[in-house]
Amino acid sequence: MFMTWVFVILIAAALLWALSAYNKLISLKGQTLNAWKQIDVQLKRRHDLIPNLVEAVKGAMEFERDTLEAVIQARNQAVKIQADALPTGGVKALAGAEAALSSALSRLNVVVERYPDLKATKNVTQLQEELTTTENRVSFARQLYNDTATTYNIRQQQVPWNLVAGFAKAELVELWEITDDTEREVPKVDLSMKSK
């Protein structure tokens, strides 16, 4: 009789644990997807901003067609890849495309620096602040996504959580890793023209 009760209590405890573990995994999954959505929003913002930027500097930069062309190309490529990227697949490709866009943009910025008149335009100043904040937003969204995704990945593989992972339909998600070496070197773009 005693043993039966012990058995029943043990089973009940195990069930309770499984329930809470299941819920925890579901909530982590939700957080990960949410963080991914945030990246999506910020990338879209970035992609929408670029045509404006190009439009604003085009007139004064007739001689730099190549640089502008490269930015537009990289942007279009990134938009195409973004359309079907998900945490469970395609993160790497998107990260690559965005890195390419980043380096094209930083080349453009180097060029813009050579045109003092252009830099003095109010419109361009505003766009540069826009660009800075957008770049920061992308990188912070990426940071949040990577942190959340890492927690999610570790948790669903740990014993005994992995027993519940199947029920919660938990899958490993890809991290947004920086593939490009130049990108790794310059993680911050500071274009604000405030004196330091």
**Is residue 147 within the footprint of another protein (CB under 8 A)?**
yes
Part of the chain binding another protein (CB under 8 A), chosen from 30-38, 58-66, 74-82, 93-101: 30-38
Q: Let me know how many helices (H) and strands (E) the chain has, helices first.
A: 7, 0
Looking at the Cβ atoms of 61 and 99, the one nearer to another protein is 99
**Is residue 124 within the footprint of another protein (CB under 8 A)?**
no
Looking at the Cβ atoms of 78 and 191, the one nearer to another protein is 191
* Rounded Cα distance, 30 and 8, in Å: 33
The answer to whether the peptide bond before residue 160 is cis (omega within 30 degrees of 0) is: yes
Q: Distance of alpha carbon 174 from its chain centroid, rounded?
A: 11
* CA nearest to 183, candidates 92, 95, 112, 69: 95
Minimum CB separation of residue 67 from another protein in Å reads 25
Q: Tell me the CB-side half-sphere exposure of residue 44, using CA atoms within 13 A.
A: 8
Looking at the Cβ atoms of 34 and 73, the one nearer to another protein is 34
Part of the chain binding another protein (CB under 8 A), chosen from 47-55, 89-97, 104-112, 182-190: 182-190
**Is residue 40 within the footprint of another protein (CB under 8 A)?**
no
